[in-house]
Amino acid sequence: MSNYVHDQWIEGTGTGIVLYDPIQGTALASADATGLDLNAAYGWARQTGGPALRSMGYSARAAMLGRIVDVLQVNKEKYYDIALSNSGTVKSDSAIDIDGGIYTLSWYAKAGAKLNSQAFLTDGEAVPLARDNAFATQHIQVPIQGLALLINAFNFPSWGLWEKAAPALLSGVPIVVKPATSTALLTYEMIRDVVEAKILPPGAISLICGRPEGLLDALNGLDIVSFTGSADTAATLRSHPRIMHDGAKLNAETDSINSAILGPDADPASIQLLVREVVRELTIKSGQKCTAIRRIFVPESTYDTIAQSLALSLAKVTVGDPRKDGIRMGSLVNLAQQKAVRAGVATLEKHADILFDGRRQLTIDAPADSACFPPVLFGVRQPDEHPLVHDVEVFGPVATLIPYRDIDHAWQLARRGMGSLVASVYSEDTALLAQAAFALGDSHGRVHLVTDAVSRIHTGHGNVMPQSNHGGPGRAGGGEELGGLRALRFYHRLVAVQSAPEVLKHLAG
């Protein structure tokens, strides 16, 4: 895979990092960014891509996003083949990444078409600062004149790219894309198709594959970084001089220990909804989602019943090579990730009961040396005495069933995740569900409330929709993404303009 900088495809000068098929173990491609002049590449993006994008206006940039959607739709089957070979995902899981990314782009194309064609966005009304309104202030949102460095995780090479790129490009900000190396092939092919279609102006998009030297060193204090990945990597980014000292803005979305909570009313319909969603979240992308359910809170009286129901459902999951018929769950992204999941399971085994062990109860229909790993369900009957279940996240098909005494105890336990991306609550008690929004809102970026009435139409615990905020406080990174047009705020600077009313009126015009 080549790198795309200065509007040229440039190969690295090193040996490169090989990408493998996680099922068959075959080499697919290599990525290398050795020898790239990132100072020059970033300068080109700022000085060429930025002015070209900002000259277009919001509605014109929205139309540009729409043309990207058309290109991606035409090539969709190719992307599915890449996802299968590079990520080991079944087709329905690939769709969440590929179609989800395209849908997000399409949503921003339509939403952006309704914006004006000005160079900035107004923020509220003008406010008087002097008697008789002789002097006033107007806040505006101005697109940054730096670049946006988009650092993405391995689990969503399509959606992770476009959910950041869409609001950035719509805002008029050039992007430099750094995908996770292990699954970069899908990102590479999508960007290559868009570049060849000549949709974007020169300098609007750059792609860096592999592990370059000085990725952050080449930034300046007026650039921004949008990151998805581990909390440890986010901490490393925050400590970099460009961010810590120079003030480059960072948005971090990191993994979290998300919760699913069954309400105290716990009728059969709510139990069925909870069980179905937990099994979905354990198996979709083999549990490799930052929003996946990691802790399942249920009333003490239902613990054994739900443990049995979950075990029966998980026993029906077919794990293996997605190329084979009937396979419901594919592999982890690579052998390194499989090793990490094994280590996490070994840690939890010392502190929790195993309620379902796919390693012993399921047959994996794939080569013995593949990166497949079956679901494992843990349980702890005394959650207040087991801090590890609230602290250790296994980034794979692993979750823990936890009983609670009363609903206040459930809220308290959920908050022990110290900041999560999402919590879902299953109940027919509308007052309880409304309470959940306030009880969990300060520690979760999204609260997903499910009743039987929405059982067939709700978007799912783990699905991130462009209309809703994605992010969370504390452990989840403290960032915000999407949320409709709110996403544009990260790519703008808030400016207070103070002047005579006639000047502000001219500015608005």
Residue 118 is predicted with a pLDDT of 79
Contacts 24+ apart (CB under 8 A), 244-247: 246/219, 246/220, 246/221, 247/221
Give yes or no for a contact between 405 and 416, defined as CB atoms under 8 angstroms apart. Answer: no
Residue 216 is predicted with a pLDDT of 97
Q: Is the pLDDT of residue 206 over 80?
A: yes
Residue 387 is predicted with a pLDDT of 87
d(CA 321, CA 71): 29
Going by C-beta distance under 8 Å and a sequence separation of 6 or more, which residues neighbour residue 350? Answer: none
Looking at the DSSP bridge assignments, the partners of residue 121 are 141
Residue 7: pLDDT band with limits 50, 70, 90: very high
Mean predicted confidence (pLDDT) in 202-215: 95
* Catalytic residue of the set 189, 253, 480, 481: 253
pTM to 2 decimal places: 0.95
Mean predicted confidence (pLDDT) in 193-198: 98
Give 272-325 pLDDT, tens digit per residue: 999 999 999 999 999 999 999 999 999 999 999 999 999 999 999 999 999 999
Give 353-369 pLDDT, tens digit per residue: 999 999 999 999 999 99
Q: In which region does residue 230 sit, left (phi positive, over 0), alpha (psi from -120 to 50) or beta (all else)?
A: beta
Give yes or no for a contact between 4 and 31, defined as CB atoms under 8 angstroms apart. Answer: no
CATH 3.40.605.10 in the chain, residue ranges: 3-9+55-255+481-508
Q: Which two tokens stand for residue 343?
A: 């280590």
Residue 217: pLDDT band with limits 50, 70, 90: very high
Residue 448 is predicted with a pLDDT of 98
Name the CATH architecture for the domain at 258-467: 3-Layer(aba) Sandwich (3.40)
Mean predicted confidence (pLDDT) in 22-47: 97
Residue 109 is predicted with a pLDDT of 98
Residue 355 is predicted with a pLDDT of 98
Q: Is the pLDDT of residue 100 over 90?
A: yes
Residue 103 is predicted with a pLDDT of 98
Mean predicted confidence (pLDDT) in 127-146: 94
Backbone angles phi, psi at 479, to 5 degrees: -105, 175
Looking at the DSSP bridge assignments, the partners of residue 501 are none
Give yes or no for a contact between 173 and 489, defined as CB atoms under 8 angstroms apart. Answer: no
Angle 159-171/184-196 helices, nearest 10 degrees? 40
Give 326-356 pLDDT, tens digit per residue: 999 999 999 999 999 999 999 999 999 999 9
Q: Which two tokens stand for residue 311?
A: 């075990």
Backbone angles phi, psi at 244, to 5 degrees: -70, -35
CATH 3.40.309.10 in the chain, residue ranges: 258-467
Residue 161 is predicted with a pLDDT of 98
Looking at the DSSP bridge assignments, the partners of residue 123 are 139
Mean pLDDT for the chain overall: 96
Query: What's the start-to-end Cα distance of the chain, in Å?
Result: 47
372 is catalytic: no
Query: What does CATH list as the number for 3-9+55-255+481-508?
Result: 3.40.605.10
Q: Is the pLDDT of residue 472 over 80?
A: yes
* Catalytic residue of the set 290, 372, 480, 481: 290
Mean predicted confidence (pLDDT) in 210-230: 95
Residue 117: pLDDT band with limits 50, 70, 90: confident
Residue 116 is predicted with a pLDDT of 79
Element at 333 (helix H, strand E):
none
Q: Is the pLDDT of residue 509 over 90?
A: no
Closest CA to 205 of 83, 87, 58, 61: 61
Residue 293 is predicted with a pLDDT of 98
* Strand pairing class (175-178; 249-254): unpaired
Tell me how far CA of residue 359 lies from CA of 255, 325, 374, in angstroms: 25, 21, 6
Give 66-91 pLDDT, tens digit per residue: 999 999 999 999 999 999 999 999 99
d(CA 189, CA 37): 23
Give 377-429 pLDDT, tens digit per residue: 999 999 998 889 999 999 999 999 999 999 999 999 999 999 999 999 999 99
